[in-house]
Structures are given as structure tokens and as C-alpha cells.
Structure 1
Amino acid sequence: MDTTKIYLITGAAGFIGYFLSKRLLEQGCHVIGIDNVNDYYDVNLKYARLEQLTPYEKFTFIKGDISDKDMITKTFEEYKPNIVANLAAQAGVRYSIENPDVYIQSNIIGFYNILEACRYHPVDHLVYASSSSVYGANKKVPFSESDFVDNPVSLYAATKKSNELMAYTYSHLYKIPATGLRFFTVYGPMGRPDMAYFGFTQKYFSGEPIKIFNNGDFENDLYRDFTYIDDIVEGIERLLCNSPNGANITPHQVFNIGNNRPEKLMVFIETLEKCLSKAAGREVVFDKIFEPIKPGDVPATFADTDLLQQAVGFKPETTIEDGLQRFADWYCEYYKVNHNSQ
């Protein structure tokens, strides 16, 4: 990484934002982190992540919301970032059905503010989070960046598709080098409690059953391309210094970042049970309740990662066995689940 550059990371207290900030700081980079530390999930986890970043001398934290245009403008004016990673967003497919306002505020208005700031304070590269959800209920697998993505099945997906369109337009008009990243089910230690693997684990240790939204249909089980956090960060890190350019073309590109190895949801759950059994020192078996698939959920996600590999020579490698074991070990330590607790 170029340690002379200033990196602005929005969503720095979030799952991916934290790990990316940490990776850059370890390499001696200057990182400006922005986060509103909202209570969509346990804020203690967000503060625990920030605590890991504050000892670094080259880390500056700004508590603020990207939908606050004045704050964003002042941050760009004061710190003059060279590279921006916009990872702040209201996440979650199901939550977008219950609470649409926050998605428009953060994912549309917030992203617009970032684009405007990059327009008036030119940057070397803007990297921003999109999502595999833009593929909707796409039947063709694996999902390729060239696929038709005009049928989102959740508001969250619609906001992410909007981000790609907005970024393309700003790249076209103002030659802002921009890269969108379609993340595929990111998981790992210090992850998001609203994600299934984390929620299942919490339910188990609270003595509650888990709900699986696949109708109990094991033959036509849901498939997910689970991608371990270290692989995601490695991919982003390589892309930060690999901005699209060209005098006559729009400097905008989109990449899938996924594991390219989709797993059946039930296999993933069984693997999580084994990993938690090892971490907790006793057999862990979830009490399962099967329910119909939820509105906005899709039956399969599967990333074609050839474009990413061609661009930066990288393909995610972490198996779910390794990734889930690291999550299970962290969970049992962080939440003090000792070998004797039931």
C-alpha cells in the first residue's frame, strides 16, 4: 500500500470497515474513519472494534453520519483524502422491509454526499460497497458482473443498484475513478449479529431454537456464497491501488467479491455446529424450526470471480471450516462462553 496517501473509510466501526482500517493501519497508512455508530445492532461490538483502532497514531475517528453533507464536505476539505472506501450503509435485506427510511437516508443520500465530495475534492479512487443482492432472484448461476440486474427483490438491493448507477454517472461526468464491490455473504469474527450464522449462535447460547427459512426442503436448500472477512479485505486492499482509468472511457468498474464456492445452508449450519462444539468443548446441536422463505430473500447466491482474478490476481480461498472455526473461537472468548456453561 502507498503509505503517503490518506485513506478515508466510511463505516469504520462496521464489520468490513473495521477490518479494512486495521489492515491499512498495520501497514502504516493514514486512515480517517467515519461512523455514526448507530444501534441497528449491538453498539458495544462497534465500540469494541473502534477500541482496536484507536491505539494507532495514524487513525483519526469522526463520529458522524454520511447523510450529513456539511460534515462530509468539511472532512474532505480538512483531510484531503486520496482514496475513499465508502463502506457505510444501512445493511440487511429484511430490515429494509420494516424500516425503509434509513436505507434512503444512508444508502442514497449518504452516497450522493460522498460522490459530491469526490467531485469537488478530486480523489485517486473511490471504492464503494455494492452487494450480491443486486442480482435479485437471478436464475443463471454463477452470477456474473455482465448479468442483467434490473429486478431487485428488496429495497436494500434497489439502493445498492442505485449506488452503481450514481457512481457510473459521476465517473462519466467528472472522471471520478470508481469501483463498486458486490459482496457475497461476508462472515467472520467480530461480524454482524444480524447475520444468520451469528444469530444462530446467539440463539443457541440463549437456549432458543433457530429459524431456518427454507421450508425444510433439503433437496432444494438455499445456497449461499459465504466469503470470509480476510478474503474480502485482501480483495479490497488490492483494488484500492488499482483504479480504473482511461481518457475516452468512463473510469468505473464493478467486481464480485465472493467465495465462488456456494454452500447449502444446511451444510453451513452443520459446520457451524461442529466448530462451536470444538470451541465450547461440548456438543452443540441447534434446535431447528423450519419456515417459508422470507420476502426479499433469494434462493441462491453464487459469485463468478473471474473478473476480480484477472484485475488483481486474487481469488478468495478460506474454507467455511476454517472461517467458521475462527468465528466460533472468537465468539466463545468474546462472550465468555466457557467449557462448562450450558
Structure 2
Amino acid sequence: MTFTKAPIFVTGAAGFIGAAVAERLLAMGQAVVGIDDLNAYYDVRLKEARLARLMSHPGFSFERLTLADRAATADVFARHRPSHVVHLAAQAGVRYSIEHPETYIDSNLVGFGNVLEGCRHGGVAHLVYASSSSVYGANTDLPFRVEQTVDHPISLYAATKKANELMAHAYSHLYRLPVSGLRFFTVYGPWGRPDMAVFLFTDAIWHGRPIKVFNNGDMQRDFTFIDDVVDAVVALLPRPATPDPAWTGADPDPATSNAPYRIYNVGNHSPEPLMALIGHIEEALGRKAELDFQPMQAGDVQATFADVTSLAQAVDFAPRTPLKEGVARFATWYREVWLGQIAKDN
């Protein structure tokens, strides 16, 4: 990408994808301001360890704040005046949203609105933000395509991500703010989130605990390795969304607009059975899993599968990490870093 003299904001910089994106930008010589509130949704030691790696870079500075705080968010935009923003801060998790809806309202709606305002008033050249494959909700027509309508979310988390896309379009239309929304599909890899299947299963298998296998194992996911996700984000960032000259209100394409607005799927384009994932983890660890088969959970879906055609056309994106390789790389990190350094105090 073409570097800017002004810093790039990465919100959620202590999170999984945020830390990886920030680290890549820093390695490329770009100044980065990381923003995070270091909340305790999962083990804060993991967030602190990610952040410590970023703090070793001279081009990195950190702002600890909650984006739902309107005044604090406006202040950080005014002080740093970023050229681009990668917005990855959000309250994640489908199941958690059923028990704690208020945190999703505050973080994913109020916080995102404050980021949009900061970008609008700060003249940001491009806002790239995290949406989610969860927005496809009750859709069953696979693979999921950005041209599909996504009006039937089945969790509050998904609804807030769909709302983000609508809010982004409104700002793009009204203020010509270039915005690109990325629907991430089950991202995993080293430094990943402990509430997601790859980490949960690995940790349970290693310690001899049973793993909960929902829908009795009849599940498929488009598992996407973190390096492939970062490739997509960094490639899109210097390419601001532009109006689609072919867009028409008579037959509107949900993924484009006559405003500078785009939606992309970021996935591996290769759905894998959940039981195959478990087999790869068993092989990587050299241990067998004890399976606890469970019915489908509320808010969950049976399968996800990303059509990444539009992303490939935009930035020549091609996922390059098969699941077996990615799981092996995660397992190595889990043993050598998580067990060896971070979790040793348990």
C-alpha cells in the first residue's frame, strides 16, 4: 500500500484481528494508533500480550478508551487526525449476545456511530470496518454471496452487524465517506480468540476435557486463517470504495451503491465439516478428543460458505492457507506461546 504521513487508526488493536492488522501495517513502515478498552469478555492476559508485541514497534501508539464514549472518541480523532481507519472493535460472539444484549448495543451500535462521526468530521480517506458472516442469518442458499439480501438475522450480534452496514451506507451517501464492510468468516490462527472453536477445542483436548459438539457434529464452517484475513484488509485499505456506475435503485445491488460503499466476504471459500476440524486438531496435538454431542444452539447456523468473487476482483484476493496447515500452526502457537508463556500462571 502507499504509506501515509498521518497515522492509521486500528480499533480493537488488542483483539485478534486488530492486533494482526496493526502488526502488518507497522512491519510495512506505517504509523498506527491502536484503540482498545481491554474489556474482560475473555482472558485479558491474551489481549495484554498482543498489545505488548505492538508496543515494541516505534511507530505504534496506544489509546485506551471505550468508543461508546462520544467525547473521548471525538477527542482521539481530533488529536491524531488519522488518514484511514480500520474499525475492528466490537462486542463479538453470537451466544453471548443472547445473555448480554446491552453490551452489543453500546459497543456495536453507539461505538460504531461515534467512529462514523469521527471519520466524517476528520476527513478520513477510507473506513474499513468489520461486519460478519453472521449477517446471512436464516439464509440457506450457499455459497453466501454479497449480492444476497440479509434481512433475517437470527442473533442480536448479527443484527448489530447488519445495522453497521446500514449506518455506513447512510454516512457514505450523505457525506461521501468511502466505506468498505468486511464480512469475516470464522477467523482462526495464532493469537486467536479463546471463545472460538479452534481455541476451545484445542484447549479442551490438550487438558483431557470433553468438547461440546453442537448439532451432533453436523456443522460446516468456512474457517479462514488470520494471515489471509490480514492480506485482504491491507490490500483494500489504500483502495477507497467508489460509487458503482452500474448501480440502480430500480434493481439495487446490496453490496454496492451510487455512494462510495462496498461489502465484501472475507473467507476461505472452502467449507469444512466440524468433525474434520476436530480430526486436524487431534492430529496436530497427538491426542484424541472426548466428544459431547449437543443439539443446535439458539442463534447458530448449520453451515457457512463464502463466495469471495468480488474481493478477488477488487484486490486479487485468494485464500492460501488450508485448514490442516492453519490448525497445525495454531497448535504450535498454543503449545509454545499460550502454554509456555501466557497461561503458565494458571
In which range does the TM-score fall when normalised by the shorter chain? over 0.9
Q: CA deviation at 1:204?
A: 2.2
Deviation at 1:337, TM superposition (A): 6.5
Q: Which position in structure 2 is the counterpart of 1:262?
A: 271
What's 1:280 paired with? Answer: none
Map of 1:281 onto structure 2? none
Distance in structure 2 (CA, Å) of the matches to 1:251 and 1:75: 25
Could you give the per-residue CA deviations for residues 176-227 of structure 1, whole angstroms, max 9, x where no partner exists? 00000000000001100000111112222333111100225xxxx2110000
Asked if the contact 1:203–1:209 (Cα under 8 Å) also holds between the matched residues in 2, the reply is yes
Where does residue 319 of structure 2 map in the other structure? 316
1:245 Cα deviation from its structure 2 partner = 2.4
Structure 2, gaps ≥5 residues long: 246-257, 342-346
Sequence identity percentage:
52
Distance, in Å, in 2 between the alignment partners of 1:84 and 1:21 is 11
Q: 2:223 aligns with which of 226, 242, 254?
A: 226
Q: Distance in 1 between matches of 2:107 and 2:178?
A: 22
**Residue correspondences, number:** 328
**What is the identity, as a one-letter code, of the residue corresponding to 2:282?**
E
Q: 1:252 aligns with which of 261, 265, 282?
A: 261
C-alpha distance in 2, partners of 1:256/1:189? 22
Match for residue 116 of structure 2?
Answer: 115
1:55-108 per-residue CA deviation (whole Å, 9 max, x = no partner) reads: 111101001111111111111111100100100000000000011110000000
Per the alignment, do residues 247 and 261 of structure 1 end up closer, same or farther by CA in structure 2, a change over 3 Å counting?
Answer: closer
Partner of 2:308: 305
1:168-247 aligned at under 5 Å gives the runs 168-216=169-217, 221-246=218-243
| 1:292-314 Cα shifts (integer Å, max 9, x gaps) | 01000001100000000000011
Contact 1:66 1:111 in 2 (8 A): yes
CA distance in 2 between partners of 1:257 and 1:245 (Å): 19
Match of 2:292 among 289, 294, 297: 289
Partner deviation per Cα, 1:109-144 (whole Å, 9 max, x = no partner) = 000000111111111000000000000121100000
The aligned residue for residue 150 of structure 1 is 151
Q: Give the counterpart letter for 1:239 in structure 2.
A: L
- Is there any run of 5+ residues in structure 1 with no aligned partner, and where? 278-283
Alpha carbons of structure 1 residues 117 and 336: separation in structure 2 relative to 1, 3 Å: closer
Comparing 104-113 with 237-246, which one deviates more in the overlay? Answer: 237-246
What is residue 105 of structure 1 aligned with on the other side? Answer: 106
Q: What is the aligned-residue RMSD (CA, Å)?
A: 1.4
Q: Structure 1 CA distance, aligned partners of 2:64 and 2:88? A: 15
- Confirm or deny: 8 A CA contact 2:208 2:289 kept in the other structure: no
Q: Distance in 2 between matches of 1:146 and 1:33?
A: 33
Rounded to whole Å, the distance in 1 between the matches of 2:132 and 2:243 is 26
Distance in 1, matches of 2:292 and 2:16, equals 28
Give 1:268 shift: 1.0
TM-score of the two chains, using structure 1 as the length reference = 0.94
